Structures are given as C-alpha cells and as structure tokens.
C-alpha cells in the first residue's frame, strides 16, 4: 500500500534527521546550581482595577406578576404560523383546494384521451 510506505519512509527520515541534529548541534547549557533568587519578596501588582462591586438587594418583596389572560394567549398565537392562527379550518380549506385542482387536472387528462 503506497500510503503505508509513505508514512514509513517519511517517519524514518524524520527520526534520522533528529539523530543527525542531536549529533551536530551543541548540547544545551547545564542549569545553574548557584544561588537562586529569594522569591518570598516578589509581589505582583496590577495597574488595572476591578469593576465596582454589584450589590443585589434581596430584602425587598417583588410585586406579583399578573396572570396571563386568554386574550394574551390569542395575541401570541396570532403572530405564529398560519395553521395555528386559523386553526384546522385553514388546513382543511387548503387540502380541499389541492384535491380539487388534482381532480381538475385528471378530468382534463381524461378528456384529452377520449
């Protein structure tokens, strides 16, 4: 399979390049073993300030909301899909018109065949 040969060839080439780079480039310098910095006195201070604190007053009692009426529900439905707006009568009228058009097409086809 050519794809497997490709991955084997490229993978072995990359490993060989890694070994060659390790051989020709100098070794990294060793870590210093000298005295380290006293990190206990380092303080990090930001110039940015946090936004003001928001306090929510939960001690007050909210006024109860009014119950939705049937008029509100009707207004919600009026803005939605046509079959919800006009009910099942709209669907029945659409279906009747569609069936009548199919019957007309069939009648015309039968008349032409005679």
The whole-angstrom separation of Cα 54 and Cα 88 is 51
pLDDT digits (tens, 9 = 90+) for 12-26: 999 999 999 999 998
The mean per-residue pLDDT over the stretch 83-89 comes to 58
Per-residue confidence (pLDDT) for residue 81, from 0 to 100: 56
Q: Per-residue confidence at 75, pLDDT binned at 50, 70, 90?
A: low
Domain spans in the chain, listed from the N-terminal domain onward: 87-114
Per-residue confidence (pLDDT) for residue 45, from 0 to 100: 78
Which residue is associated with the tokens 């490709």?
A: 6
Q: What sign has the CA pseudo-torsion 84, 89, 90, 91?
A: positive
Per-residue confidence (pLDDT) for residue 18, from 0 to 100: 95
* CA 26 to chain centroid: 49
Per the CB < 8 A criterion, the answer to whether 78 and 85 are in contact is yes
């Amino acid at each position: 399979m050519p794809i497997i040969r490709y991955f084997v060839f490229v993978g072995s080439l990359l490993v060989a390049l890694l070994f060659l780079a390790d051989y020709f480039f100098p070794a990294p310098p060793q870590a210093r073993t000298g005295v380290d910095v006293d990190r206990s006195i380092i303080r990090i201070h930001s110039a940015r300030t946090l936004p003001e604190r928001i306090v929510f007053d939960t001690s007050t009692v909210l006024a109860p909301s009014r119950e939705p009426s049937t008029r509100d529900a009707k207004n919600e439905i009026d803005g939605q899909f046509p079959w919800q707006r006009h009910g099942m009568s709209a669907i029945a009228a659409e279906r009747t018109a569609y069936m009548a058009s199919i019957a007309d097409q069939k009648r015309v086809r039968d008349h032409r065949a005679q």
